Structure 1
């Protein structure tokens, strides 16, 4: 039974047991070292390399993992020294990733960046009026009722810069998840960390496309990436609750 009762063994018996175990463990360790040598040195995996750079450069959101070749595995473990080789390609990739991390950590000019804020209404969140999955997957709503906007309607609203702040974008998971919402107008002018906030609520969709409060909220993750399409969305879809913006 664990943990053992301290009173099960006397102090003398405990000392004798530890002495016997120590001798056998040391002998087994010496035999292992004689046969295979001490634990070999190995390079950092790409996850470890990214985490170390985040700590050293104080960049908690640094994302350089995908710049590095995927680590090989042995028996479903990617930290085995035998398979963590360092080829010329590996070295070039690690150096390039380190350079990119340093560019993010070091100021790009003499003056600090000017802080900018952009507010995007619902009708600027998607470039189109619908997405994969049909009307049940996405539509615009106001006062919890669907507003049937077409692509032409959105184009006119954006051309005239006429947006209703009460309009909402209703998104529901479907077989075609994830969706691709490329915000209209805004583009990041340089690499770096950007803070994005969403105002959202959990709802249920009824048959007439009206909205009602959800019984339970469901967590949803958001991830920014380069523009893609349905043909390259598999790597996003396998992550689960991911929204491609």
Structure 2
């Protein structure tokens, strides 16, 4: 085991015994640059509220892809106002978007996995890279219960592609835990959750799920790969 691996394993062990607030405070107390990226989904709203009420030194950023639901855009403003915080907003490059439309069409992502991944790269991955510039720790809202592809999500892992530590403070939380926290703390959430959207991304790429479907079944539903992701959380990791 390398020194870096040992450090990640130690961090996993430490976070495992802490509450959400304690996990976030532990990260904030490391005197490093920590960034939480939020999609404004219910899990991310829980983390945002926990950061805000404790006044932790953790930046909060979101990716304004240009194709978000109106409800999501409204929730960004509402969250800032109610929690008295600032959410950094990162948009895709306009020229890159125009180039994509010229090559594939505005909704060309329906035609092939290649086209969809190209859209995600422009609208999400490049803005994410900008949001994470200079960061040592990337905090996410990943949970093991979101999909089979995320069932082994650790509390902490090393993201080799981005050369930073990725922390998932809700890794062991179930959806019932999430809803209980939201109710107890009056956390603002996206109204689309009550319309059958447990996981919310870009509007053209997200549908409501059917009874019995996994939480992320509504994302890129026209593709057949059960492990489909946009690419944000597919970097090779260790730890």
TM-score where L is the length of structure 2? 0.26
Q: Which has the higher contact order (CA 8 A, sep 6+)?
A: 2
TM-score where L is the length of structure 1? 0.25
